[in-house]
Structure 1
Amino acid sequence: MVAPILKGSEIPMSSATTIIIQQGKLLDFIDGTTQREETPEEYVRQEIAKSLVREYGYAKKDVAVEFTLALGSRKPRADLVVFPPDMPHTQQAARIIVECKAQSVKATDRTAGVGQLQSYLSSSPNAIFGMWTNGLERYCFRKVTRAGSISFEEVPDIPAFGQEEEDAERPHFDQLKPASSDALLFAFRRCHNYIAGNQGLQKPEAFWELLKLIFCKIHDERGSDEVEFYASSRERNGGVNGPLKVKSRIDKLFAAVKSEYPTIFKKEEMVELTPVVLAYIVSQLQMYSLLESDIDVKGRAYEEIVGANLRGDRGEFFTPRNVCRMAVEMLSPEEGQLVLDPACGTGGFLITSMIHVIDKIRASERKKWKDDARADKAIQTRASRYAETHIVGIDLNPHLVKAAKMNMVMNNDGSGGLFQGNSLTSPASWSDDLRRQNLLGAVDLLFTKAPSGNKASN
């Protein structure tokens, strides 16, 4: 297991290797030795490099950083170039080209925008796919050559290792990738900004529309036989009819979501996005498996977007994920213990507790059963029962309760144990549903970080 590398620290990478990271430098993920200037653009490049290896499955040896291309008399350097396995790193052999920029650079920039990427693809005869990103925006293209003329089609994603070009259009469940590092955070930011900028909604309204689609994505992963949460490039660029096909699939998914979660969504609610905007958002999320993504990756992405839209003036601040994990590991909840957070916010302590106990359940059942299928069934039964009966959260802010329920569903469920209420008042003033929990004298472990601020009541 490789130890993490901390800036300014001396960390042994193996019994024979020690690397010292200089102040203001980043260690190159691909070669593991080069120290690059810590700039906004470099941060984006390193994150995408991690994605190419961890999410898309390409070997580090088949990825080149700052690869020199020949464009007439110019010799620019492409940020990341992917080559077929065991092929020489030449411009002729290049298969995928990725350009990474700082967030301040726009896709429409005349010299550093998507046009730069397309010029690189045009000069590389066998490069078919390209990606341009600044961390907030992300565009993927497929080069099409017809009768000697080159054009570019925008596609949802670049292919993963071993994936055929056609398969990149409609993903299959076994091809979905858990999001790593900040990839999901970038995707949520892109989607939220795109909705706000292209739908005419205020950012909080855009946030709720994004959460509807996150729920549709989760429902698709859990309940569909084939992926329905997708938008092909032909649909996105197919005039009126293409985006309408995407909308039809998403509307069916959302109808099922409303039926499954009536306490979160009202019967009359609809996905309010135009078909064109909807198709774009779907294309940005379709390649990920939200259920399989690491809890900290999802938590960091989700809570940033929640915090930017729902943090009010009552001193609401979300507990950092590492603090949640530290507290939960210290008390180490057991399956039979009732866990309460009386100021739960988006549910960080509760989700961390739930995952902690489910990991114990998983270890127990794996030891008991030799048959993985029987073990998985037992794990799911015990985990669902625990999440439904032993995880309880209360928060005064009804919007945060709704967001917490969404967060719990994204991480395994347990959303039925979340209630709106003031935990500082007498239980007599609570809702009937909350009083029926009979919490007084029944709570085994309490995790919380009460709201704090000049206007908070403590």
Structure 2
Amino acid sequence: MDGVAGATDQRGRMLVTEEETRDGYVRDIVSGREVRATPEEVEAVQVFARRLIEDFDYPKSHIQTRPQFRVRARPSEERARTYPVDIAVFSAERKLEDDVDIIVECKRKNRSDGEKQLKLYLSMSSARIGVWFNGDDHLYLYKRYKTDGTLEWSVLPNIPKFGQTVEDIGLLKRRELQAPTDLKAHFRTIRNYLAGNATGITRDQSLAEAIMSLLFCKIYDELNTPPEDLPRFRTAVDEPVERVFSRATELFQHVKEEYPDVFQEHEIIALDPESLQYVVGELQNFAITESSRDAIGDAFEVFIGPAVRGEEGQFFTPRNVVQMMVDILDPQPNETLIDPSCGSGGFLVVALEHVWKKMENQGERNGWSETVLERRKREVASRGFRGLDKDSFLTKVTKAYMAIIGDGRGGVFCEDSLAEPQNWSAMTQERTKLGSFDVVITNPPFGSKIKVTGRQKLSQYRLGHRWRQPRGEDWREEGSVRTDQSPQVLFIERCIQLLKPGGRLGIVLPESLFGMSNYGYVQKYLLENFKLISFISLPDEVFQPYTHAKTCVVILENSPPSDDDIHMAIADWCGHDSRGKPTNRVNDDGSIELLDDLPKIAENLAPLMDWHSND
């Protein structure tokens, strides 16, 4: 079981997430005690306890999980029946009954039943705030007394951070926003809420488009709000929903005006006001632009869902795989780079960050002003970075994300990368020429169910023609064009066609291309025509739980083959298991280490590359 010491994966490798615990138990993050690893405990109680500590800044000294705090059924009677509470938050370290401020219940109930239970517990205690959280959805309930002594209930957009009052919710200044610790979990909560409550939206892509528009409003607001000002992306306690909706709509209008090539003037944020306020409340405390994750890629993964992505072979590349490939290929500010299957822009964004870091170092050495540095960053992004994808929604996401972080959106086009270049738009043809790129980096779609057909398209590629292996002889190319071909095979050749002589390619491919005899012609094509630099075998879990395809990373140079050694690497760990849970290990000194071989591989291979030896 994930999160439980003593558990192993399918290879018998030990998995641990906290301190050493017995099989079937997990160590409570607050008390340090071993507790049974029930789904409720692992997926809800421990998740929200961690949020209280990491996102809301509550010290463990003010939180009680084990032993459980108990609410008396009748507060006037000492021996009355009591109800255990999953998490209690106190206003003081002494944790007296009168000091309890927040009660958190994590039962697997629906929202209506959760609300009834919270009202009961809040009525019987001094707590003012109740939280129901079942791992997928949440409710923040506030209790106050009217002048006549009767109870009044209201739903909060969020709970106060440590040191805040309820009245402070939604009033954090821009400088007080902090990076989220688990952004994907918050997106998952938002997605579950919207799927069950948003009015007028039923399709996953419609939900994704709505949340993307709102997310870019959030990012735009962060980048354009002075440190001491209140962000416009906020919702306060008892603030009319119409006011929040109006502020978000006005913010989206600014986004559309700044990026007219990304958003159309007629576009709206297609959420009802109540749903929009929910999303704003969930995200308002965070600085999305300071997140260590690709926020847009994470949001897309959550909102589109594995079924839709699986049909098109769209399995988004984990950030650590992207980072490893970028570090090895080491793109430079004066070079051109393209991802011909750019998806939501993960490779482009990480490569851009890599190049900008080099420019920042150069600017520091040369004494560039901040204005000069920012101008040169934008010039490099616009001049040197290109992305293609045949999915119009994905290219829109990539354009918008690149626009928000520093431009380069003008180099992203909605095109079928495998089509004949003369069939691309005039702008794409002008700015994306074969044989013009220093670096190609990509993870093309692959899968047994998707095939490329069409004689005209296939005839562009040697690998689109038939190859034959007579008995006892080597593979040889025949003249006839195939009826179909797997996209990953054609992408290899298209990527190489995009490279300048001496340019370098990093590509994620199914390992079957190099292990199955029926793909021997692909191996022959590569080994006899190009300089193969490195082959990195990735763990089975890299793209799980979305697909079980065994993959590898191939690094090659568009140069004649040589007798140089091919740098081989095998990664046993990729940072998560087959269900997407982190693979952590407790070291002898008690520290927790994420088991991930990919940064080590990049660290070892990058110095062996001599890409820039002649610069």
Specify the SS of the correspondent of 1:436.
Answer: helix
Which of 81, 86, 94 is the aligned partner of 1:88? 94
Distance verdict in 2 for CA 1:416–1:24, change over 3 Å:
farther
User: Secondary structure at 1:198's aligned position in 2?
Assistant: coil
TM-score (norm 2): 0.63
In the other structure, the counterpart of 1:238 is none
Q: CA deviation at 1:327?
A: 1.9
Structure 1 partner of 2:48: 48
Residue in 2 that maps onto 1:336: 334
Structure 1 gaps, min length 5:
236-241
Percent of aligned pairs with the same residue?
30
SS in 2 for 1:96: strand
Equivalent residue runs for 1:75-114 within 5 Å = 75-85=82-92, 87-102=93-108, 105-109=109-113, 113-114=114-115
Name which of 184, 187, 204 aligns with 1:185: 187
- Alpha carbons of structure 1 residues 49 and 356: separation in structure 2 relative to 1, 3 Å: farther
Whole-Å separation in 2 of the counterparts to 1:375 and 1:46:
47
Change (3 A) 1:50 1:375: farther
1:76 is aligned with what amino acid?
A: Y
Q: Deviation per CA, 1:188-214, whole angstroms, max 9, x where unpaired?
A: 32454256x433543322322222211
Once the 2 structures are TM-superposed, how far is the Cα of residue 350 of structure 1 from its aligned partner?
1.7
CA shift for structure 1 position 253: 1.0
SS of the aligned residue for 2:215 comes to helix
Deviates more, 1:29-38 or 1:66-75: 29-38
**Secondary structure of the equivalent of 1:230?**
coil
Instruction: Tell me which residue corresponds to 1:174.
Output: 175
Which amino acid in structure 2 is aligned with residue 163 of structure 1? Q
Counterpart of 1:231 in structure 2 is 235
Shift of 1:23: 4.3
Which of 166-175 and 212-221 deviates more? Answer: 166-175
Over 3 Å counting, the alpha-carbon distance change for 1:20 and 1:262 in structure 2 is same
Shift of 1:400: 1.6
Determine which structure has more spread, i.e. the larger CA radius of gyration: 2
Q: 2:450 aligns with which of 421, 430, 455?
A: 455
Q: Which residue of 2 aligns with 1:57?
A: 57
Any idea what SS the aligned residue of 1:108 has? helix
SS in 1 for 2:99: coil
Correspondence 1:181-260 to 2 at 5 A: 181=182, 182-194=184-196, 197-224=198-225, 225-235=229-239, 242-260=240-258
Is 1:446 the counterpart of 2:434? The answer is no
RMSD of aligned alpha carbons = 3.2
Of 185-194 and 226-235, more deviation after overlay is shown by: 185-194
The correspondence of residues 417-456 of structure 1 with structure 2, limited to 5 A, is 417-453=411-447, 454-456=449-451
Partner of 1:304: 302
Pick closer, same or farther for the CA change 1:94–1:337 going to 2, 3 Å.
farther
Which deviations, in whole Å up to 9, do the C-alpha atoms of 1:380-403 show, x marking residues without a partner?
445444433333210111122112
Does the 8 Å contact 1:391/1:417 carry over to 2? yes
One-letter amino acid of the structure 1 residue matched with residue 49 of structure 2: A
Match in the other structure for 1:315: 313
1:416 equivalent in structure 2: 410
Counterpart selection for 2:81 from 69, 74, 84: 74
Alignment of 1:141-156 (within 5 A): 141-146=141-146, 147-156=148-157
**How far does the alpha carbon of each residue in 1:251-288 deviate from its partner, in whole angstroms, 9 at most, with x for none?**
21111111112122111222343333333333333232
Q: Is the 8 A contact 2:87 2:105 kept in 1?
A: yes
| 1:369-427 per-position Cα deviation (integer Å, ceiling 9, x unaligned) | 7xxxx976666445444433333210111122112234445655533321111222332
Q: CA 1:90–1:414 in 2, change beyond 3 Å: closer, same or farther?
A: farther
TM value normalised by structure 1: 0.83
Quote the residue 2:265 is aligned against.
267
CA contact (8 A) 2:341 2:417 kept: yes
Write the distance in 1 (CA, Å) between the matches of 2:60 and 2:378: 39
Shift of residue 443, structure 1, vs aligned partner: 1.6
Deviation at 1:326, TM superposition (A): 2.5
Instruction: Letter of the 1:424 partner, please give it.
Output: L
Amino acid in the other structure paired with 2:288 = L
Q: Any unmatched runs of 5+ in structure 2?
A: 74-79, 453-486, 488-615
Asked if the contact 1:401–1:419 (Cα under 8 Å) also holds between the matched residues in 2, the reply is yes
1:22 positional shift: 4.3
Say if 1:367 and 1:273 are closer, same or farther in 2 by CA, change over 3 A. Answer: same
- Structure 1 counterpart SS, 2:65: strand
Q: Which sits farther off after the overlay, 183-192 or 245-254?
A: 183-192
**SS of the residue 2:122 aligns to:** helix
Does the CA contact (< 8 Å) of 2:297 and 2:316 recur in 1? no
Deviation at 1:333, TM superposition (A): 2.8
Q: Is the contact between residue 80 and residue 98 of structure 1 (CA under 8 Å) also seen in structure 2? A: yes
